[in-house]
Amino acid sequence: MNLDNPNQETRLVVSCPPVMHPPRDGFRLAGCYGTWISVPAHTKIEDLSRYFIVRPFGAPPPESRVEPKTLTVAGSRGGTYTVRLRENGQTTCTCPGFGYRRTCKHLTLLSA
């Protein structure tokens, strides 16, 4: 263990470049998102690499990907229909109207 440089052992892993709050009472908060620590007020932004390791999350998902959604809606004549938003952005509904027209009023519920 390297005792000359204790910070080496306690660096926090963060997923974005850390930022700092203005100094208060000789200390200032540094970090990002939910990870914050107190650092001496004279700490500079370039010193933060002593406290943090920036390790971005895996590549963001492709923009075309849509969070799939499924809704069950009550039909006007009883029964229920299932409205679906698929990963590829396609929307479907099990109501008869969608069967004829490939669109229906229920699809708008998905974007509501």
- Residue 85 as a binder of Zn ion (CB under 5 A): the answer is no
Q: Which is nearer to Zn ion, 18 or 106 (CB)?
A: 106
Segment holding 101, helix H or strand E: helix 96-101
Identity of the residue, 15 or 108, whose beta carbon is nearer to Zn ion in the bound complex: 108
Q: Which two tokens stand for residue 84?
A: 């679906």
CB 55 within 8 A of CB 15: yes
- Residues 93-112, one symbol each (x = binds Zn ion by CB under 5 A, - = not), give x-x--x-----x-x------
Closest CA to 28 of 17, 18, 15: 18
Pairing of strands 12-14, 52-54: parallel
- Select 30 or 106, whichever has its Cβ closest to Zn ion: 106
Q: Which residues inside 25-64 make contact with Zn ion, applying CB under 5 A?
A: none
Q: How far is the CB of 109 from Zn ion (least distance, A)?
A: 9
Q: Which amino acid is at 57?
A: F
Bridge-based pairing state of the strands 27-32 and 35-40: antiparallel
Instruction: Give the number of residues in contact with Zn ion, rule: CB under 5 A.
Output: 5
Rounded to the nearest whole angstrom, what is the least distance from the CB of residue 65 to Zn ion in the complex?
24
Return residues touching Zn ion (CB under 5 A): 93, 95, 98, 104, 106
